[in-house]
């Protein structure tokens, strides 16, 4: 899919080849392959085939837990106060909510206790002794599970962070045995994100504790990484902190609807939006009880959070929806458990990323010229993409390159060399294209488990989709039958003529030039180029029509005198003035062949392009036989609007059929105002 102004959208078919199961979808650019961090999009989806996966029963988690104990800053130091983050997960990878955890020493004496939050995350503070071992007892399903905690290090430094709302306090602490060896050494604290670095010195004098106050104004919106380096620039400690201030989040107003006879219009107002700036939104319209849109991430968490952490984040969108002080605290607890960020300091210092993979703009063409005398070439445009492009080559050059080609849906490159008297000939080039295939991305993937396994009931005696597909196939068969009857079909309306060719017509004309002559055009044989002109044009204004063959624009009409009508399916002649984007009163002529025919004679070289873009297609929501079943309420689709923009009034409006106009949810994601984002869920009660 091509990306313009940082925005793209597309779709893919889920057909019979997709059996029931979990699938992974990735979206990335070539440039993203230069980095080890996961800065691309990855999503797990579940495909349900009701006929083969009937009455699916979700797999339950076992009673065995996974408990991870993660010291703040990355190191646990003996004989000083430490903050320990804890993550408890079940066998499916989900956090275990609201379980009680007791920290005990080797004598089973209580040291600390806490309860995990809804994502299985918690923390506790304690002073571990160098000669003591500790363990955790976790109460789960009426039994206790025991997990050992790694022993503390005897030498080192600890780090803890405290948020004071407008500034943060960083506490660096060590023990007495370490203080003697690091006293008066200059350590360096680096505050950074992906683009900015700030540094300050950290020096332990006679006390084993150093406090640093950092104002919010010195931090960047989003993730900030605090890293402590020793005098040899070796990273010792690291802590992530998220600053909400400065992130531009948009909101919508109250959604309204208006019912008509057979449809309902939904209107969404956007607050504080500048309609003069680029804005793009995706809106998923689903039944209010849907279970099919239950992702861990939204657009905000994937941009501002996920690339900076090593593991996947359960329900990351929670931290950016209806933001409260409690959610800010919970996000900080999450970041406490991450230890080191996804940025590897050994890579940063010793192997900084180099742009191995270039930033792409469309498809790149590299053409080797076989004819040393050829100097000028013309590249014909792809359908709907403007005018031909001329390429001139200096004497002695045997290669030329062209960037920014955007072929769609297996379109081919058409190119000619220009000879004497501006005659066209086959270019005779050897072409190579980049990219020639979809590249693999080597970055390790952090794939979140599916939020909720599917559990549904479905009766095979009750089809959930209408049989409209069968009806469409029947209509297509009727169209094919009509075309094979040998009867000519020609219709005219408002200056536009549609002429469907039959066998009689194909035998009547020697070539397409003679056919067009009868339709009001003639061949001007006196001109240096054999041009086609309209008989309706005056001598003073004999402007040429634009002629397309299967979507390709012709720039020289000599081809028409040799073009066999035997391969033509139908022709559209549009003489209405100034329709579409043409600058002529002589109209547009569009010739369509019975089968894919290269516009290829001795004049044009046609070259297959190994990898082309997929043109975005309109999404057609399936029609269901029944709209009151559990399957439709939980997994049905009302509509998907992937490429919406606000109107001059700052609103988005769309229609749904009254058959689907029950209670619905709108999942709104998008960007506007040069950097603001929105991720909202709106429930609309339509009754």
Question: Which sequence spans correspond to the domains of the chain?
Answer: 66-243, 248-290+636-687, 363-434, 485-607
Residue 453 has pLDDT above 80, yes or no: no
Q: Do residues 138 and 101 make contact, with C-beta atoms less than 8 angstroms apart?
A: yes
Q: CA end-to-end span of the chain, whole Å? A: 39
Q: Between residues 687 and 68, which one has the greater pLDDT? A: 68
Count Cβ atoms below 10 Å from residue 363 Cβ, excluding itself: 22
CA proximity to 656, closest of 291, 262, 281: 262
Query: How do strand 531-534 and strand 546-549 relate by DSSP bridges?
Result: unpaired
Which pLDDT does position 429 carry in this prediction? 87
Q: Between residues 133 and 340, which one has the greater pLDDT? A: 133
Confidence band for 21, pLDDT divided at 50, 70 and 90: confident
Query: How do strand 588-593 and strand 546-549 relate by DSSP bridges?
Result: parallel
Fold of the CATH domain 66-243: Immunoglobulin-like (2.60.40)
Q: Decide whether 66-243 matches 248-290+636-687 in CATH topology.
A: yes
- Output the average pLDDT for the chain: 80
For the chain, what is the radius of gyration of the CA atoms? Answer: 33
Fold of the CATH domain 485-607: Ferric Hydroxamate Uptake Protein; Chain A, domain 1 (2.170.130)
Question: For the ranges 65-74, 266-275, 423-432, 465-474, which has the lowest average pLDDT?
Answer: 465-474
- State percent of the chain over pLDDT 90: 29
Q: Between residues 483 and 634, which one has the greater pLDDT? A: 634
Rounded Cα–Cα distance for residues 188 and 195 (Å): 18
Which pLDDT does position 327 carry in this prediction? 94
Element (H, E) at 478: helix 468-483
Question: For the ranges 212-221, 494-503, 525-534, which has the lowest average pLDDT?
Answer: 525-534
**Strand positions, DSSP E, 370-428:** 376-379, 389-392, 399-405, 413-418, 424-426
**How far is CA 507 from each of CA 503, 511, 632, rounded to the nearest angstrom?**
6, 9, 55
Question: For the ranges 100-109, 334-343, 580-589, which has the lowest average pLDDT?
Answer: 580-589
Residue 634 has pLDDT above 70, yes or no: yes
Q: Do residues 455 and 58 make contact, with C-beta atoms less than 8 angstroms apart?
A: yes
Tokens read off for 192: 């950074």
Which pLDDT does position 485 carry in this prediction? 39
Residue 597 has pLDDT above 80, yes or no: no
Distance of CA 256 to the CA centre of its chain: 29
Which pLDDT does position 79 carry in this prediction? 95
Question: For the ranges 241-250, 274-283, 350-359, which has the lowest average pLDDT?
Answer: 350-359
Which pLDDT does position 492 carry in this prediction? 60
How wide is the angle at C-alpha 435 spanned by C-alphas 1 and 354, nearest 5°? 105
DSSP notation for 25-67: EEE--SGGGG-SS--SEEEEEEE--TTTSTT--PPPPPS--EE
Rounded Cα–Cα distance for residues 434 and 367 (Å): 12
Q: Which span out of 6-15, 341-350, 565-574 was modeled with the highest average pLDDT?
A: 565-574
Rounded Cα–Cα distance for residues 83 and 76 (Å): 8
| φ and ψ of 408, to 5 deg | -120, 145
Which pLDDT does position 352 carry in this prediction? 61
Rounded Cα–Cα distance for residues 475 and 635 (Å): 29
Total residues found in the chain within this entry: 687
How wide is the angle at C-alpha 339 spanned by C-alphas 337 and 343, nearest 5°? 130
Q: Which span out of 29-38, 101-110, 295-304 was modeled with the highest average pLDDT?
A: 101-110
Residue 535 has pLDDT above 50, yes or no: no
Contacts of 586 (CB under 8 A, 6+ apart): 521, 533, 534, 536, 537, 543, 544, 545, 575
Which pLDDT does position 123 carry in this prediction? 95
Q: Which residues of 613-627 are buried (b: 16+ CB within 10 A; e: fewer)?
A: beeeeeeeeeebeeb
- Can you identify the CATH homologous superfamily of domain 248-290+636-687? Immunoglobulins (2.60.40.10)
Q: Between residues 250 and 341, which one has the greater pLDDT? A: 250
**How far is CA 55 from each of CA 33, 466, 531, rounded to the nearest angstrom?**
41, 21, 68
Tokens read off for 423: 């005659």
């Amino acid at each position: 899919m091509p990306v313009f102004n940082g925005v793209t959208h597309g779709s893919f078919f889920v057909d019979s080849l997709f059996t029931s199961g979990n699938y992974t979808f990735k979206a990335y650019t070539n440039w993203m392959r230069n980095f080890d961090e996961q800065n691309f999009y990855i999503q797990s989806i579940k495909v349900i085939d009701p006929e083969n996966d009937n009455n699916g029963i979700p797999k339950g988690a076992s009673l065995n837990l996974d408990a991870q104990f993660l010291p703040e800053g990355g190191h646990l130091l003996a004989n000083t106060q430490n903050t320990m983050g804890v993550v408890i997960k079940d066998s499916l990878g989900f956090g275990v909510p609201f379980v009680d955890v007791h920290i005990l020493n080797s004598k089973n004496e209580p040291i600390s206790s806490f309860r995990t939050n809804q994502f299985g995350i918690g923390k506790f503070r304690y002073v571990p002794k160098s000669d003591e071992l500790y363990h955790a007892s976790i109460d789960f399903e009426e039994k206790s599970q025991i997990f050992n905690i790694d022993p503390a290090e005897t030498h080192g430094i600890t780090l803890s962070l405290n948020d004071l709302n407008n500034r943060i306090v960083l506490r660096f602490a060590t023990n007495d045995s370490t203080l003697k060896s690091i006293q008066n050494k200059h350590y360096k604290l680096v505050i950074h994100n992906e683009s900015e670095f700030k540094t300050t010195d950290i020096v332990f004098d006679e006390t084993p504790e150093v406090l640093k106050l950092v104002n919010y104004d010195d931090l960047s919106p989003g993730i900030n990484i605090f890293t402590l380096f020793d005098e040899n620039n070796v990273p010792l400690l690291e802590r992530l902190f998220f600053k909400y201030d400065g992130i531009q989040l948009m909101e919508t107003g109250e959604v309204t609807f208006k019912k008509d006879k057979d449809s309902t219009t939904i209107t969404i107002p956007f607050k504080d939006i500048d309609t003069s700036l680029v804005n793009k939104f995706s809106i998923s319209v689903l039944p209010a009880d849907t279970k099919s849109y239950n992702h861990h991430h939204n657009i905000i968490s994937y941009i501002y959070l996920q690339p900076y952490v090593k593991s996947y984040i359960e329900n990351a969108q929670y931290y950016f929806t209806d933001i409260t002080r409690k959610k800010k605290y919970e996000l900080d607890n999450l970041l406490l458990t991450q230890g080191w960020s996804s940025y590897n300091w050994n890579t940063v210092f010793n192997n900084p990323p180099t742009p191995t993979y270039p930033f792409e703009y469309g498809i790149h063409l590299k053409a080797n010229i076989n004819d040393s005398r050829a100097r000028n070439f013309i590249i014909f445009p792809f359908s709907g993409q403007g005018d031909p492009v001329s390429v001139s080559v200096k004497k002695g050059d045997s290669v030329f390159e062209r960037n920014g080609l955007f072929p769609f849906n297996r379109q081919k490159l058409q190119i000619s060399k220009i000879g004497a008297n501006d005659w066209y000939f086959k270019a005779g080039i050897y072409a190579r294209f980049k990219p020639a295939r979809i590249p693999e991305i080597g970055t390790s993937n952090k794939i979140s488990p599916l939020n909720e396994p599917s559990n549904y009931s479905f009766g095979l005696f009750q089809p959930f989709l209408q049989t409209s597909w069968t009806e469409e196939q029947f209509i297509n068969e009727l169209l094919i039958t009509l075309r094979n009857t040998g009867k000519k079909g020609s219709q005219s309306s408002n200056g536009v003529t549609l002429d469907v060719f039959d066998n009689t017509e194909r035998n009547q004309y020697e070539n397409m030039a003679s056919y067009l002559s009868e339709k009001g055009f003639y061949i001007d044989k006196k001109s240096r180029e054999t041009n086609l002109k309209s008989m309706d044009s005056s001598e003073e204004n004999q402007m040429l029509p634009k002629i397309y063959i299967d979507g390709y624009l012709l720039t020289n009409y000599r081809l028409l005198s040799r073009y066999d009508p035997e391969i033509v399916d139908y022709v559209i002649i549009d003489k209405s003035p100034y329709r579409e984007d043409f600058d002529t009163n002589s109209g547009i002529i569009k010739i369509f062949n019975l089968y894919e025919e290269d516009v290829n004679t001795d004049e044009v070289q046609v070259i297959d392009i190994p990898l082309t873009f997929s043109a975005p297609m309109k999404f057609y929501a399936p029609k269901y036989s029944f709209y009151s079943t559990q399957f439709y309420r939980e997994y049905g689709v009302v509509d998907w609007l992937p490429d919406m923009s606000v109107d001059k009034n700052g609103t988005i409006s769309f229609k749904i059929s009254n058959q689907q106009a029950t209670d619905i949810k709108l999942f709104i994601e998008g960007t506007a105002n040069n950097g603001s984002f929105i991720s909202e869920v709106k429930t609309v009660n339509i009754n």
